[in-house]
Amino acid sequence: MIRKLELLIVAVVLVVAAFSTALPFLFYLLYLAILVIGGSYVLVRLGLTDLEAGYAVSQLHGHVGDRMRVTYTLRNASRIPKLWLEIHNPTTLPGGLPGRAITLAGRTERSWLIRAPLSRRGHFRVEPLHIRTGDPFGFFEASATVGQGISIVVYPRIEPLPRWRLPAAALEGSHASPVRTLQTTPMATSVRPYAPGDAMNRIHWKTTARHGEIQVKEFDLEQTADAWIILDLQRGIQTGRGDESTVEAGVRAAAAIADKALQENRAVGLTVNVGRTAFLPPDRGGRQHLKIMQLLAAVEADGSAPLVETLIHSVGRLRRGMTAVIITPSLDPAWVRPLAALRTRGVACVVVTLDSTAYEKFAVDAQATANGESAPVDVEADELAAKRTRALRHALAEYELRSYVVTPGRPLGEILAR
């Protein structure tokens, strides 16, 4: 607006001076200004006419570490070339989407591909495509938006756990049985010849056609018990920064364990003590996997309730035969006693502790290295943290609770393989 006002003032002064003095040089400047300004206006007006544009993304969701492909296409349907076009997508994705300034000749089309890394979990927005053009002198500008905005969901990275197994709970069906069951379960393992009394719905018709005699299916009891994951995201106990923090490590651990349990045909439930404690009832299959990933993509460390309260509120949801997996950076041994009480109800327990002291030191060392300084050493704080860690480990060992300690810089599969 200020540039246009200045341009108007200069034009008025030039017109008044030219007609009041009648100098040929001023009239030459006046005609030149009319030609330049008028030509710039016409150029900008034609800059976006007969222009077709669009973009397409390869996926609307992915995991941290994936790359999202974005394809842009621009087509000039007129004979007049587009001398300068600036194209970009406003977005909340970390790092954004790179824009581009191009020249498009008449009756031509141009496409290009961008691979955008998904570096942080969460829900993000990609706004409609924004196209801007202008004149070489910067007098005028025109812009347009194309398409619709889309939402991108980035799930946490899932680390493989090839050698990790949940402990079997005290429930029939929590381990493989050598004896076939008369019940119809999802675990159809073998076929045998038909015997009098077998139900018609147990006939395996493909095998019957192949053998020429009636074959019926045999079933196993389910080989796994349900799992319930409790993720502690209390605000005051989280340490670290960025990807190497207790928050992200806890979310990655919950995602990996849930994925592993679902692959083992377990029904998986989830509790996260965020601002309002979130519960997902146990279920199997791809739909439950999607629900868990969507919840873990959105959670933040904004919980106020300590872990002991979350455990007490979750006791009524844990039934006999479940395996509870607790993921927490808390060094308060008060939450160990409710876990010991679960064992008397036939609920197995696994504790995954996040070494908050190690994550805090890792963040401090990284910051000091970036600044070219040496990391400060607080001996008293280190001794206090070590004392609290020993007290927690002693409490876990006293009640014979299986525990794992997650530290920065080590793969989760390696830690949980012990």
Q: What is the pLDDT of residue 238?
A: 92
Tokens of 198: 């077998």
Tokens of 302: 């904004």
Lowest pLDDT segment from 27-41, 94-108, 137-151, 329-343: 27-41
Q: What is the pLDDT of residue 128?
A: 95
Closest of 131, 127, 97 to residue 114, by C-alpha: 97
Q: What is the pLDDT of residue 77?
A: 92
Cα(394)–Cα(197) distance, integer angstroms: 57
Q: What is the pLDDT of residue 100?
A: 93
In this predicted model, what pLDDT tens digit does every residue of 295-353 receive, in sequence order? Answer: 999 999 888 889 999 888 888 888 888 899 999 999 988 999 888 888 778 888 999 99
Q: What is the pLDDT of residue 3?
A: 63
Average pLDDT over residues 56-65: 93
Cα(248)–Cα(413) distance, integer angstroms: 16
102 pLDDT exceeds 50?
yes
Average pLDDT over residues 280-288: 89
Cα(258)–Cα(137) distance, integer angstroms: 59
369 pLDDT exceeds 70?
yes
Q: What is the pLDDT of residue 12?
A: 78
Highest averaged pLDDT of the listed ranges 29-38, 170-179, 223-232, 328-337: 328-337
182 pLDDT exceeds 70?
no
Cα(221)–Cα(177) distance, integer angstroms: 7
Q: What is the pLDDT of residue 314?
A: 84
The secondary structure of the chain, three-state, reads CHHHHHHHHHHHHHHHHHHHHCCHHHHHHHHHHHHHHHHHHHHHHCCCCCEEEEEEECCCEEECCCEEEEEEEEEECCCCCEEEEEEECCECCCCCCCCEEEEECCCCEEEEEEEEECCCCEEEEECCEEEEEECCCCCCEEEEEECCCEEEEEECCCCCCCCCCCCCCCCCCCCCCCCCECCCCCEEEEEEECCCCCCHHHECHHHHHHHCCCEEEEEECCCCCCEEEEECCEHHHCCEECCEEHHHHHHHHHHHHHHHHHHCCCCEEEEECCCCCEEEEEECHHHHHHHHHHHHHHCCCCECCCHHHHHHHHHHHCCCCCEEEEEECCCCHHHHHHHHHHHCCCCEEEEEEECHHHHHHHHHHHHHHHCCCCCCCCHHHHHHHHHHHHHHHHHHHHCCCEEEEECCCCCHHHHCCC
The secondary structure of 206-222, three-state, reads HHHHHHCCCEEEEEECC
Cβ atoms 160, 413 nearer than 8 A: yes
Cα(311)–Cα(399) distance, integer angstroms: 16
Mean of the per-residue pLDDT values of the chain: 85
What distance lies between CA 224 and its chain's CA centroid? 28
Q: What is the pLDDT of residue 87?
A: 95
Output 369 or 113, whichever has higher pLDDT: 113
Q: What is the pLDDT of residue 418?
A: 66
Q: Give the pLDDT band (50/70/90) at residue 2.
A: low
270 pLDDT exceeds 80?
yes
Cβ atoms 232, 253 nearer than 8 A: no
Cα(355)–Cα(244) distance, integer angstroms: 11
268 pLDDT exceeds 90?
yes
264 pLDDT exceeds 80?
yes
58 pLDDT exceeds 90?
yes
Tokens of 412: 């989760």
222 pLDDT exceeds 60?
no
Q: Give the pLDDT band (50/70/90) at residue 221.
A: very low
In this predicted model, what pLDDT tens digit does every residue of 392-409 receive, in sequence order? Answer: 999 998 888 889 999 998
Q: What is the pLDDT of residue 324?
A: 92
Average pLDDT over residues 376-404: 84
186 pLDDT exceeds 70?
no
Domains of the chain (ranges, CATH numbers):
51-155 (2.60.40.10), 187-220 (no CATH), 227-415 (3.40.50.410)
258 pLDDT exceeds 90?
yes
Q: What is the pLDDT of residue 187?
A: 57
Q: What is the pLDDT of residue 174?
A: 45
